[in-house]
A and B are shown apart, each in its own frame.
Chain A
């Protein structure tokens, strides 16, 4: 630093962002963050103006997930900051590394109920991995370094840094020594390797249960090598989709509430679960007491708190999956089990022969999946379309399927796709959304227009909040409370208002050509696909029921 030029907190922020390789940020300006936006004006960091802070948070999440990096978002104090919360909660639930910067009222005004003042630091405690409020300008640089380190350390997660306006404007007088030790929390991995080897060699019916941690540990190669060399039949969580090669003959698809019949039965019958980067989520296990009742468990995770949280592990292997999984990779004698499950996979394969002219959503998504270029990144919203996408589309990498898993946040898909497209400008990005979800962050069509972001939107439209409607029909005596959306806006006209090319289809015969037209189009495109409002997602494991007692249509 030269003495002649004053370095302010705001300029320092951009210096630190660039030192961490951050080229793109998502945000929305406002009073208490104006000094940061003023410094942005001279910065090489490219800012994308989203049209709601929740959009900025989700774009940062999409950016991080698609590129395997940290996503950064900015918001002002008060409502700007509170609007980030849903995105941060989503990132916490799905372990996504985000650094969120919020402006705060000046330190002298803090605690006085000032205009646009909210205690975002207090609010952040339940929805971030960690958070900071900077009240000393000479702490700012260290805090920002820690924020990036914590976001990426161990199990990833969102970190919030709240910066009062006077700190943004203050002159830095002391630099942080980057060579100094930031954090020294050393955890000794607890590795029951010999116990795990013993379980593995005695197993006759083992299942590899793969979760979102595999992609985040960058251990896809190791997991595939394990699946191939052991020959172990595998199942995946929603977030693990893409970790196992979908063409693997022993891969049975997704397990859980809307999992495949083969995957759920196989898990229930297994005598050993090898769990990698997964956490026995309630949507995966169904009735926990009856989940895989005869199976021993080998649990690989980076997070100590996940071991024994919902299911006791017979062998726990904590630490880096990339290093640990090869320790158990060896051939197994399980031919009979493989053949039994391969047969079940064939017997219970998806069927797309749907009667009538109406469009069958699973077939649409299968066609999109078959026609999309390799390395396409698909994002989804939340609901029926999300489960159909998970069931009927194929992904060869978890970073190519971005969906709100833990939090199940409607409104995720569109802004996440914007972030994904910005991080991967040369790949196709497709949003699969529903007519309920898309309206939750519809304002982001303006972000698409502004930057001409060429995302393709497949809008599965049943003029209903379809998943809630399905549950009302099945479990609430068909009392359709507040799930009718038949007065939705005209989505084609709406797209045109944002200069987005658009088309509506409602007949089976139109599907293939419409998808081809969408994929061939250079810019953004919205394909509205009208489907029958009574279609349900099958199979479905009812609440508090064992996974093998799934419903398959009524």
Chain B
């Protein structure tokens, strides 16, 4: 994949704050064919909710990744926010 020609998306993910949740999101994102360009994660804060924002790029439609992340058991919600990508 040539990162210059790919579509870029920003995702905002809310999840149950489990230790493993970041690993799960990273694994699914790579496996489903999306490059991670950057991310910010607020996890293990003790308030039970993890918030992850992530910029990804791919030739594939973002709905494929949103559906797969949504399938993860600990995920509460995924939003695509393209306002500042």
Contact = CB atoms under 8 A, between A and B. Distances in A.
B23 interface: yes
Interface stretch (A94-102, A120-128, A533-541): A120-128
B5 to A, nearest CB: 21
A126 B27 contact: yes
Interface string A122-163: 100110011001000000000000000010000000000000
Contact of B63 (A150, A185, A308): A308
A304 B73 contact: no
A122 B26 CA distance: 12
B23 A305 contact: no
Interface string B36-66: 0000000000000000000000000001100
Interface in B18-33: 20, 23-24, 27, 31
Contacts of A426: none
B79 interface: no
Given A130-B73, A150-B73, A125 B67 contact: no
Given A121-B20, A129-B73, A304-B70, 8 more contacts: A125-B20, A125-B23, A125-B27, A126-B27, A304-B67, A305-B71, A308-B63, A309-B67
B68 interface: yes
A130 B31 CA distance: 16
Contacts of B68: 305
B63 A122 contact: no
A303 interface: yes
Interface of B: 20, 23-24, 27, 31, 63-64, 67-68, 70-71, 73
B70 A305 contact: yes
Nearest to B64: A309
Given A308-B63, A309-B64, A125 B24 contact: yes
18 contacts: A121-B20, A122-B23, A125-B24, A125-B27, A126-B31, A129-B73, A130-B73, A133-B20, A303-B71, A304-B70, A304-B71, A305-B64, A305-B67, A305-B68, A305-B70, A305-B71, A308-B63, A309-B67
A303 B67 CA distance: 9
Nearest to A130: B73
Nearest to B75: A185
A126 B31 CA distance: 9
B53 to A, nearest CB: 21
Nearest to A121: B20
A125 B27 CA distance: 8
A129 B73 CA distance: 8
Name the interface size band of chain A: 10 to 19
Contacts of A185: 73
Contacts of A126: 27, 31
A130 B70 CA distance: 13
A55 to B, nearest CB: 28
Interface in A51-82: none
Contacts of A130: 73
Nearest to B65: A305
Interface in A296-312: 303-305, 307-309
Nearest to B69: A305
A185 B70 CA distance: 10
A309 B67 CA distance: 9
Contacts of B31: 126
Contacts of A125: 20, 23-24, 27
A307 B67 CA distance: 9
A321 B64 CA distance: 23
Contacts of B20: 121, 125, 133
Contacts of B23: 122, 125
B48 to A, nearest CB: 13
A121 B24 CA distance: 11
A160 B30 CA distance: 22
Q: Which 6 A-B residue pairs are closest in the complex by CB-CB distance?
A: A305-B67, A130-B73, A125-B27, A305-B71, A305-B68, A304-B67
A370 B31 CA distance: 44
A395 B71 CA distance: 32
Contacts of A303: 71
Contacts of B70: 304-305
Nearest to B30: A126
Interface centre among A122, A129, A133, A304 (most CB of B within 10 A): A304
Contacts of B67: 304-305, 307, 309
A129 B24 CA distance: 11
A133 B23 CA distance: 14
A307 B64 CA distance: 9
Nearest to B63: A308
A122 to B, nearest CB: 7
A126 B28 CA distance: 8
Contacts of A307: 67
A534 to B, nearest CB: 39
A303 to B, nearest CB: 7
A308 B60 CA distance: 12
A476 B67 CA distance: 39
A296 to B, nearest CB: 20
Contacts of B27: 125-126
Contacts of A133: 20
Interface in A302-331: 303-305, 307-309
A303 B63 CA distance: 14
Nearest to A303: B71
Interface centre among B20, B31, B70 (most CB of A within 10 A): B20
Contacts of A122: 23
Interface in A93-120: none
